[in-house]
Structure 1
């Protein structure tokens, strides 16, 4: 199947429709206006369409020099396990290569490690775990 790959962000309506298929934001921490503002502030985005329907999306946060973080990779459930996630990731990784970025980080949901390992990612060394902090408002 042939899909359309775009570096432009989807419309807010397209984004909401895809995002709602993920189950993310179940705690309602952010409004869709806030989530759309977040993706609009990304360094680079990849939107994948089947005709006029957004079926895949991913984005990169980066300083454009050496720190790069891939996030919000999502594929509509009807298109999972059909190569759409790989198309999203390849578009993101190709942009990093074009911009000479060679340090690429990401976090993924439990059980998704094998997908990213197929693309060359490795898990962080147990002696160098990642950290996080959530500051409630």
Structure 2
């Protein structure tokens, strides 16, 4: 398959990314405005563009300090192009990226059923006693009396 890696998205590709988010359980409801803001504040992005169709078919991003940690987020491959090694290619391109070569540890969050996929790329679910925590933004009705 003919693909190209891109590190910036044009507006058409941003729309493709919004569509990709809509196809996931965790990205539904993301808006073009919010995705544009997210892209501006991500440290590094990698997209896979299908040049024959001028369409974004894969995406992943990183937040990092460029020394100690890099967190990989939003690994998505269009369902039409899954099971062709593109997810692995996305992750490997991040791990091999010249700007990320001094990173001590890459981190990511995934569902249990995707652990075998990431283990093949050198990730482990053994994180010792570390626990993932989250805080959800309170809604205005939360503070209503």
TM-score bracket relative to the smaller structure: 0.7 to 0.9
Q: Which has the higher contact order (CA 8 A, sep 6+)?
A: 1
Q: Which residue of 2 aligns with 1:127?
A: 129
C-alpha separation between the residues in 2 aligned to 1:135 and 1:88? 30
Which has the greater radius of gyration?
Answer: 2
Native 8 Å contact 1:10 1:47 kept in 2: no
* Residue in structure 2 matched with residue 5 of structure 1 by the alignment: 5
- Number of paired residues? 135
Q: For residues 38-58 of structure 1, give each alpha carbon's deviation from its aligned partner in whole angstroms, at most 9, with x where no partner exists.
A: 122111100001221111000
Gaps of 5+ in 2: 140-145
Normalised by the length of structure 1, the TM-score is 0.86
The range that moved more, 32-41 or 106-115, is: 32-41
Q: Please report the TM-score for the alignment, with normalisation by the length of structure 2.
A: 0.82
Secondary structure class of the residue paired with 2:107: strand
Q: CA deviation at 1:101?
A: 1.1
- Offset of 1:14 from its aligned partner? 2.2
Q: Which residue of 2 aligns with 1:34?
A: 34
RMSD between superposed Cα atoms in Å? 2.0
Shift of 1:5: 0.8
